[in-house]
Amino acid sequence: MRLEVGKIYVKDVQFGAATKVENGVLFVNKEELLKEVSGDERLTSIDFEIARPGDETRIIPVKDVIEPRVKVEGKGGIFPGFIANVEQVGSGRTHVLKGAAVVTTGSIVGFQEGIVDMSGEGAKYTPFSKTNNLVIICEHKEGINQYDHEDAVRMVGFKAATYLGKAAMDVTPDEVKVYETLPILEQAKQYPELPKVVYVYMIQTQGLLHDTYVYGVDGKKIIPTFLYPTEMFDGAVVSGNCVSACDKNPTYVHMNHPVIDDLYERHGKDINFLGCVVTNENVYLADKERSSNMTAKLVHFLGADAVIISEEGFGNPDADLVMNCNKITDMGIKTVLITDEYAGQDGASQSLADSTPLADAVVTGGNANEVVVLPPMKKIIGHIDAANVIAGGHVGSLREDGSIEAELQVITGATSEVGFNYMSAKGF
């Protein structure tokens, strides 16, 4: 599977008479976009704002972040199973509006939603303070349930990103990057002297607004399966969850997966990157056993010498992480785990809800319980009162002057468990 990703760098987003990219600026026809995303009777209003890096702007509560992309050559289209049909993606050519993002907000769906500050202390922790954001404010019809609310807003985001992505169709990219993974037997022979590495990608699928989709299918309903890494870049996996904002993988992160990107960078140099196994995070013990058994079997079948495993969320999914680690290690395959920590505000508590002595190589995205104070902002997009109820906040988090005292949990992407963040560790 070979995919060319053409990057068109966007330095600014502005409303204009026509939707187009010109001299590094993404112009958006507001009326045309509204027509494109409207029509869902579950929503009473849809509006748009622009939030740029450095603006004294706070977006709250953030639901999803999506990158505009368009399929230029090859099978299928972006967001298969939602916008495009379910034909396999990940080959051909895809153009990306790099530096632009769609951010969805509005009245709160579930309490585990987040904050993106475009400047100040909070901006240091979220990667989306560096993107030029078209923010969509969606207000829902009174009386609809949370699942319909989440679904309606999610689809507006996907439609908007698809519409904007089309502006990149005929633009010459500033940079083209090529990713390729061969069929497994050919791939294994390509660099026989290098260790063969597989990435096990755990996605949040616990239900109750903790959902992720693979080709349009709710991840709870899948069994672990192999994906060509390039499929991720075309939106084969998308977010539909309200897990804590700090370690949630928004759709933007799935499409720009840093672990996959880094493994491709190392491919042919010091590793042979075979591909990805996507697996779910379950609620019941029997389901955890089934998925971890099949994940271990699959990576062994692929002939992996080493596996990187990342999780999404915390608490209950820690058990899935440990099961995957134990069963894969027992097969003689080396493992590296990526997670974050909930070690208490003083950092002195146990970091994970489960553990194993076999987890002897672990990368952390940071302690989500660390307390920060976010200064007041001149402009609020969304609903500021959500600061008192979102995970990581508390009654009284929102101060009279508009500042917010809360844990890092509230900041979208702050402790990303795939490394799409700015936190780092240092030794003493």
Residue 345 lies in a domain: yes
Does position 426 have pLDDT exceeding 80, yes or no? no
% pLDDT > 90, the chain: 96
Give me the mean pLDDT over the 205-229 stretch: 96
pLDDT at 116: 98
Which ranges of 267-370 does DSSP label H, i.e. alpha helix? 285-301, 316-330
8 A C-beta contact, residue 237 and residue 254: yes
pLDDT at 425: 65
Residue 415 lies in a domain: no
Is the alpha carbon torsion for 90, 95, 101, 105 positive or negative? Answer: negative
Which ranges of 38-171 does DSSP label H, i.e. alpha helix? 146-165
8 A C-beta contact, residue 79 and residue 264: no
Give me the mean pLDDT over the 341-362 stretch: 94
Does position 117 have pLDDT exceeding 70, yes or no? yes
Residue type, 81: G
8 A C-beta contact, residue 206 and residue 282: yes
pLDDT digits (tens, 9 = 90+) for 298-322: 999 999 999 999 999 999 999 999 9
pLDDT at 195: 98
The answer to whether the pTM exceeds 0.95 is yes
8 A C-beta contact, residue 87 and residue 215: no
Average pLDDT of every residue of the chain? 96
Full residue range of the structural domain in which residue 160 is found: 2-410
Q: Could you identify the residue written with the tokens 């990703």?
A: 5
pLDDT digits (tens, 9 = 90+) for 323-339: 999 999 999 999 999 99
Omega within 30 of 0 (cis) for the link into 317: no
Q: How far apart are the C-alpha atoms of 112 and 247, rounded to whole Å?
A: 10
Is the alpha carbon torsion for 31, 159, 49, 150 positive or negative? Answer: positive
Q: How far apart are the C-alpha atoms of 231 and 19, rounded to whole Å?
A: 27
Q: Which two tokens stand for residue 88?
A: 């396999």
Does position 9 have pLDDT exceeding 90, yes or no? yes
Give me the mean pLDDT over the 230-234 stretch: 98
pLDDT at 111: 80
Residue 185 lies in a domain: yes
8 A C-beta contact, residue 193 and residue 269: no
Q: How far apart are the C-alpha atoms of 115 and 381, rounded to whole Å?
A: 10
SS3 of the chain: helix, strand, coil, percent, to 5: 25, 35, 40
DSSP one-letter code for 297: H
pLDDT at 352: 93
Residue 416 lies in a domain: no
Dihedral, CA of residue 165, residue 86, residue 235 and residue 114, to nearest 10:
100
Residue 210 phi, psi (nearest 5): -110, 75
Does position 289 have pLDDT exceeding 80, yes or no? yes
Give me the mean pLDDT over the 350-363 stretch: 94
% pLDDT > 70, the chain: 99
Dihedral, CA of residue 405, residue 313, residue 79 and residue 58, to nearest 10:
0
pLDDT at 361: 96
Q: Which residues contact 76 (CB under 8 A, 6 or more apart)?
A: 84, 85, 86, 87, 88, 89, 234
Omega within 30 of 0 (cis) for the link into 127: no
Q: Which residues pair with 94 in a beta bridge?
A: 5, 71
Q: Which CB contacts under 8 angstroms, 24+ apart, belong to 184-187?
A: 184/274, 184/275, 184/302, 184/303, 187/272, 187/274, 187/275
Q: Which two tokens stand for residue 172?
A: 């010459």
| Neighbour-count burial for 20-48, b at 16+ CB within 10 Å, e otherwise | bbeeebbbbbeeebeebbeebebbeebeb
pLDDT digits (tens, 9 = 90+) for 396-424: 999 999 999 999 999 999 999 999 999 87
Residue 422 lies in a domain: no
Q: Is 242 a catalytic residue?
A: yes
Q: Which two tokens stand for residue 158?
A: 């996907």
pLDDT digits (tens, 9 = 90+) for 369-379: 999 999 999 99
Does position 428 have pLDDT exceeding 60, yes or no? no
Strand order in the sheet with 196-204: 225-227, 272-281, 196-204, 306-310, 334-341, 362-367
8 A C-beta contact, residue 408 and residue 370: yes
Residue 420 lies in a domain: no
Question: Which residue in the list 138, 242, 246, 276 is annotated as catalytic?
Answer: 242
Residue 325 lies in a domain: yes
Q: Which residues contact 222 (CB under 8 A, 6 or more apart)?
A: 214, 278, 280
Does position 427 have pLDDT exceeding 60, yes or no? no
Residue 418 lies in a domain: no
User: For the chain, how many structural domains are there in total?
Assistant: 1
Does position 123 have pLDDT exceeding 60, yes or no? yes
